[in-house]
Structure formats: C-alpha cells, structure tokens
Amino acid sequence: MKGDAGFPVRLRFTKRGKVRFVSHRDVARAFERAFRIEQLPLAFTLGFAPRPKVSFGLALSVGHESDAEYLDVELAQPVDVDALPRTLSAALPEGVDVTGAVRLVDRAPALQESVTLVEYRVTAWDGDDRPAAAEVLRAAATRALAMPALPVTRVRKGRESTDDVRPAIRNIELVGDDPAPALSLTLSTQSRGARPREVLDAMSSDGVVLTEQRVLRTAQWIERDGARVEPLEADTLTRAHEVRAS
C-alpha cells in the first residue's frame, strides 16, 4: 500500500455461500464495520472527509464465490497480525472469513497493480440447462486453446463492441469428471482481461452453448522474475498466518 509509513497489513478472505450475492461495495462496508468492532487503530486519509486507508484487490462479480480475495489496510500502530484472521472473521458476515494476514513492507505496490493472473473453477451448463458433460467441456477447451482469436461481444455505455479474449486466456483445463465436471480457467488481468462468462461464450460452438452455473475464484497470482507468487507471500515482512479447516 502506498502512502506514509505506518503499519500496513494484507488480508486474504473468502466469499462463500449466500454472501456471493452481496456487492463489492457492501463487502467493503462489512470490513469497515469489522475494523470498528475490533477497534483496530486505522490510519486515515487527510482532507475534509477522512477515510480509512483500505485498498481492495480486483473486484469479484456479484454471484461468484471466492477462496482468494485480498485487501490492504494501513494501521496507525502495530497489532498482533496473527490474531486478525480469528477476530475479524467473528465480526464479518457468514461466508466472509479472513484466512490469512501478513504485515507488508512500507509502500508495497497496490494489489490492483500487482495481480497479473486469476484462476477460477467454473461449473458450466450446456444449452439444455443441464451440467455440460466432461467430453463436451474437454472438446470446447481444446478448440478454444487452438484458436488464434476468440471474439466476444461486449456492451460498454450502451454500445456494443467486439473484443478478442484469446490473449487473456493462459490456460483452460478440465477438472473432475462426470457427473460433476468443471473447468479450471487461468486468466490474465493485464491489458484487457476476460470474465469467465465471456470465456464460456467464446468457447460455445457447433450448437453447444455454455453458460456459467457456479464460479469460484480459487487463486490470484503476482508474477515476478518468471515466478508466480501468492499475494500473501509478496511484499511481506512476516510469514502468513494460515487458517486451515480442521
């Protein structure tokens, strides 16, 4: 997080279950409320209307779930970082759980500037409103990866445009098998990224129309020096405190 030296902290959190229908802005409000409940010593911006120095990562589409959401918050004084996952999770809505916390180095790059890759697990339906079979998904993935371009139609400010999402697709892989196959999508966030729905649109062909039934963001990555680094392990002063399901 950029700004004057303080005690910057990065949190990883989930968004599961019914809370997936809550907007990005409402999740931000829920965290601000949790920070107040736990009486964290927040650092504030200057000016007429000071705001807590909180910076979220890439927004998650409403209706999607995630095991890998991130935010940076700057505190005015040190706290027990290892205790934050437990205390904040208790103050957050059901389905939003803090699963890791680290102290950042001062002036760490912002999340939205740093994250270059995201991964999703997507359960898709075919045109008959039923789970797409593994062989259908495998064939669609093979075809899409072999194509030099995958045009999709987007609507921006009431105007339609055709964009190529192929440069944003790093990989498409079938995971699982019938009766519950899914696709693992690895998508770039740089330049013009792509949403899972747009990738499925581009993969649809030969009378097969793929639509998203469930989308779970499974990972976000920061690429540096040829390696992928999880945001909780980048720009940190301490090891991540992991919270694992028993």
Classified as helix, coil or strand, 222 is: strand
Query: Pick from 219, 121, 98: which is nearest to 172 by CA?
Result: 121
Task: Please report the domains of the chain, with CATH numbers, ordered by start residue.
Answer: 7-114 (3.30.70.580), 115-224 (3.30.70.3190)
pLDDT at 241: 47
pLDDT digits (tens, 9 = 90+) for 49-64: 888 999 999 999 999 9
Strands 7-15 and 98-103: antiparallel
Query: Pick from 116, 111, 136, 117: which is nearest to 126 by CA?
Result: 136
pLDDT digits (tens, 9 = 90+) for 96-127: 999 999 999 988 999 999 999 999 999 999 87
pLDDT at 207: 80
**Cis peptide bond N-terminal to 151, omega within 30:** no
State how far the alpha carbon of 58 is from the alpha carbons of 125, 160, 195, in Å: 26, 24, 12
pLDDT digits (tens, 9 = 90+) for 161-178: 899 999 999 999 999 888
Please state at what angle helix 24-37 crosses helix 84-91, rounded to 10 degrees.
110
Residue 69, beta-bridge partner list? 13
pTM assigned to the model: 0.89
Residue with the bigger pLDDT between 156 and 169: it is: 169
Q: Could you give the residue ranges of the DSSP H alpha helices within 80-209?
A: 84-91, 111-114, 134-146, 196-203
Residue with the bigger pLDDT between 245 and 135: it is: 135
